Structure 1
Amino acid sequence: MVGKQLQKLVGDLKSKLKKPLKSKKPYDKMDKTESMRVEIKSRKARKLISEMLKIADSPAGHRSYAF
């Protein structure tokens, strides 16, 4: 008797958890505008510059090369 009630409870919980996943509507993917592309490139450039400055300023990362 207890086993059947437990199975019913588990089944009800599973069905309640699965419902929200099915009701989600897919979204339309937005194309990037030119200003968004410029912003992304400038963020990447700023990040690269800051990484290079950290390497250049650190004593362990500074090496002199003889060409």
Structure 2
Amino acid sequence: MVMMGLERLLVAFKSKMRSLKMKKPYDKIEKSESMRVEIRSRKARKLIEKTLEIADSPKTKTYAF
């Protein structure tokens, strides 16, 4: 009986801690169009960088005859 009470208390405590972690101390800011463009350009740059890395690696060298 005592163990069941402790289990319930522990579950309640864990859920309370989770709910406290999820609360954010700030309001979400809506993204402006310029912010969206900047995010897209960063993603594009990263994709280009990865593609060039793969293309330049010695494993993917192909020679056209």
Asked whether the two chains share a fold, i.e. TM above 0.5, the reply is yes
1:38 to 1:9, Cα distance in 2 relative to 1, 3 A: same
Gaps of 5+ in 1: none
Gaps of 5+ in 2: none
Bigger proportion of residues as helix: 2
1:16-36 CA-partner distances (Å, limit 9, x unpaired): 2233438x6588654321222
**Following the alignment from structure 2 to structure 1, what is the Cα–Cα distance between the partners of residues 51 and 34?**
26
Aligned to 2:12: 15
Contact 1:55–1:62, Cα closer than 8 Å, also in 2: no
Two-structure CA RMSD over aligned residues (Å)? 3.0
Over 6 Å off, 4+ runs: none
TM-score, with normalisation over the residues of structure 2? 0.57
Equivalent residue letter for 2:6: L
Query: Quick check: 1:44 aligned with 2:43?
Result: yes
The alignment-based identity, stated in percent, is 47
TM-score, with normalisation over the residues of structure 1? 0.57
Aligned to 1:62: 61
> Helix, strand or coil: the match of 2:12?
helix
